[in-house]
Amino acid sequence: MEQWTKDYLSLVTGEHLQGLNLTNLTEFDDCHNNQTMDAYTSQQTELLNQALSKHQLVIDLGFGGGFPLLPLAKLNPQHRFLGIDARAKKVRAVQWVAQQLNLSNVQTVHGRMEDFLIDQPALVLVKGVGNIAKVLGYLQFSQEITVIFYKGPQFYQKEAKEWKTISEKWSSIGEVKYHLPRGEERLLIGVKPKNVPRGTSSKQKNLISIKKVVYG
The whole-angstrom separation of Cα 122 and Cα 59 is 7
Q: How far is CA 91 from CA 6, 50, 72, 99, in A?
A: 21, 28, 17, 12
Instruction: Give the number of domains in the chain.
Output: 1
Q: What is the pLDDT of residue 40?
A: 95
What value does the mean pLDDT take over residues 77-87? 97
pLDDT bracket for residue 24 (50, 70, 90):
confident
Q: What is the pLDDT of residue 177?
A: 95
Mean pLDDT computed over every residue of the chain: 92
**Residue range(s) defining the domain that contains residue 109:** 2-215
The whole-angstrom separation of Cα 162 and Cα 149 is 14
Q: What is the pLDDT of residue 25?
A: 87
Q: Is the pLDDT of residue 201 over 80?
A: no
pLDDT digits 0-9 by tens, 101-123: 999 999 999 999 999 999 999 99
Question: What's the whole-model pTM score?
Answer: 0.94
Q: Are 81 and 73 in contact (CB under 8 A)?
A: yes
Q: What is the pLDDT of residue 161?
A: 79
Q: Domain containing 40 — which CATH number?
A: 3.40.50.150
- Residue 213: how many other CB atoms lie within 10 Å: 18
Q: What is the pLDDT of residue 178?
A: 93
pLDDT bracket for residue 158 (50, 70, 90):
confident
